[in-house]
Amino acid sequence: MQTTATDAGRADRKPPTSDAVCQELSRAIHEHRLAPGTKLGEDELAEIFGVSRTIIRTALQSLAHGKLVEIHRNRGAFVAKPTPEEAREIFEARELLEPRTARSAAIKATPEDVAVLRAHIAKEHAALKADDRGLALYLSGQLHVHIARIAAQATIAAFIETLVARSSLIVALYWKRQRALCESHAHNALVTAIASNDGQAAEELMHSHLVDLHSALDLKKVPVQGTSLKEILG
């Protein structure tokens, strides 16, 4: 998978598929290299990736389905800019889904699963040490997706994946704190609970972790208005 992303990024060798473009853009949004509200012009992207607009359009529509991108008819595609209302919904949804899923994961986790999770956390730490905040953020989200997958629930895992992705946008808009270090500790504790197959603890830890994240948002903060100035001056 790393190969695919690299291929798409370079676009020197082989023409990337729409999925590759999709992943590349998705990753860029995850890592906050693309800010909410940014316009995603088709011609522009087509040139960057070295493909025709057809591929780009497919990728954008795909991202729009996951609500990472908003497409306004005849006006173009923009990186989504969740409202405080949406942010609340998304975290409510996560608080509904993830704790129970974490419990299932803890019950079903094999030593191999745990090893994967620990390796993941190690990468997260490394990224933080290298001061790559974007990558750290991305990995941090992916851990949640991994846990959902361990629960043998591809359907719910897919839901959580979109929620995590959108959470990244929310963090970009409404994040209050500077440090993200605390999360690592929460993740450590969570993985430990899963390692010892303690469903109850995993559920509770996941819940408090999400509440913690949620409370680290300032939803009253006026979102950085990428586009619509009328809202600012309205």
Q: Quick check: 17 binds DNA (CB under 7 A)?
A: yes
From residue 70, give the alpha-carbon distance in Å to each of 85, 139, 166, 233: 16, 24, 12, 23
Distance between CA atoms of residues 206 and 163, nearest Å = 15
Please say which residue, 54 or 215, places its beta carbon nearer to DNA: 54
Q: Quick check: 191 binds DNA (CB under 7 A)?
A: no
Please say which residue, 45 or 163, places its beta carbon nearer to DNA: 45
Structure tokens at 173: 């808009």
DSSP strands (E only) in the chain: 39-40, 69-72, 76-79
For residue 74, the minimal CB distance to a second copy (Å) is 12
Question: Which of 28, 35, 64, 71 forms a contact with DNA (CB under 7 A)?
Answer: 71
Residue in 110, 144, 106 with CA at minimum distance from that of residue 124: 144
Span from 68-76, 84-92, 126-134, 167-175 in contact with DNA (CB under 7 A): 68-76
**Binders of a second copy among 83-142, rule CB under 8 A?**
86, 89-90, 92-93, 96-97, 100
Please say which residue, 58 or 225, places its beta carbon nearer to a second copy: 58
Span from 37-45, 81-89, 120-128, 160-168 in contact with DNA (CB under 7 A): 37-45
Q: Quick check: 171 binds a second copy (CB under 8 A)?
A: no
For residue 93, the minimal CB distance to a second copy (Å) is 5
From edge to edge, which strands make up the β-sheet containing 69-72?
39-40, 76-79, 69-72
Residue in 96, 56, 55, 131 with CA at minimum distance from that of residue 207: 96
Please say which residue, 69 or 160, places its beta carbon nearer to DNA: 69
Residue in 67, 60, 91, 95 with CA at minimum distance from that of residue 81: 67
Residues interacting with DNA, by CB under 7 A? 15, 17-18, 39-44, 51-55, 57-58, 71, 73-77
